[in-house]
Structure 1
Amino acid sequence: MSSEEPTRVKEIMSSPVETISRDATVSDAAAKMRDDNISALIVTTSTPSIITSTDILDAVASGTDTSELDVTELMTESVETVPPDLQIGEASAMMTNFGIKHLPVVERGDYVGMISSTDIAAQVS
């Protein structure tokens, strides 16, 4: 038996999780991501929701005027979440299968962090 335990999500996730109100604008979200040097925010809604820098870039690239949009108009609702004790290989497989780059980490119904494909890549390199 190997003495090396697999790395768990909780060991490499970003914490505390950064959030933004569902009433915030896309401009607010972009500014917060820039200021905090992050690429995703949990949107405080009843179901797990997220807005990412990719969501904003896609909207701008498609010609959408984002200056007055609320985050709810671009966010992804009902996102997948993972528990902190999940092995990073399983989190990586989820990201690949769902075509996503971020997974909120939830424990007992509370957001405790965020894991990204960048976090996983840094860990395995």
Structure 2
Amino acid sequence: MTETDRPTVEDVMSTPLETISKDATVMEAAQRMEEKEISALVVPTSPRSIISSTDVLSAVAAGRDTSELQVSDVMTTDVETATPNLYMEEVAAMMTNYGIKHLPVVDDDYVGMVSSTDVAAHLS
């Protein structure tokens, strides 16, 4: 495989990027993920943050009221990010090393999201 044949993040990332406010409820985040058939949303904050289906599941398992709980209470903060020009092998290594399933894609600002499902589909 030549360098030009190797898929990059830009080739496989999900766009448009789906976001949610840190002030939204966890229930709203879960509903948005269900509606869009995705498993994570970017929370446009500093440091960079996301809320994933795992964050929602943890809140539910703990017996928390997701209709009152805010995204900011359960979101993952200071997340790792990828750039659009990274090769998928590099992204796979990052996800394995950090034990994560989602990487927001950043090029000055958020431009997309790449998931472990995207990686698996393009490296198999």
Name the TM-score class by shorter chain: over 0.9
Measure the CA separation in 2 of the matches of 1:18 and 1:3.
30
Matches within 5 A, 1:19-38: 19-38=19-38
1:90 corresponds in structure 2 to: 90
Pairwise CA distance, 1:123: 1.1
Give the CA deviation at 1:59.
1.7
Equivalents in 2 of 1:37, 1:30: separation in Å?
A: 10
SS in 2 for 1:21: coil
Identity of aligned residues (%): 59
Q: State the distance in 2 between where 1:3 and 1:74 align.
A: 40
The equivalences for 1:34-113 within 5 A come to 34-108=34-108, 110-113=109-112
Q: What's 2:120 paired with?
A: 121
Instruction: List runs of 5+ in structure 2 lacking aligned partners.
Output: none
TM-score w.r.t. length of structure 2: 0.94
Normalising to structure 1: TM-score of the pair? 0.93
| Alignment of 1:14 onto 2:14 | yes
Alpha-carbon offset, residue 90 of structure 1: 0.6
Offset, 1:75: 0.2
Compared CA separation, residues 61 and 85, structure 1 to 2 (3 A) = same
TM-superposed CA distance for 1:5, in Å, is 2.9
SS in 1 for 2:50: strand
Q: Give CA deviations for 1:26-83 in whole Å, capped at 9, x if unaligned.
A: 0110010011111000012122100001111122113223221000000011100010
Please report how far the alpha carbon of residue 4 of structure 1 lies from its aligned counterpart in structure 2 after TM superposition: 5.1
Aligned positions, number: 124
Gaps of 5+ in 1: none
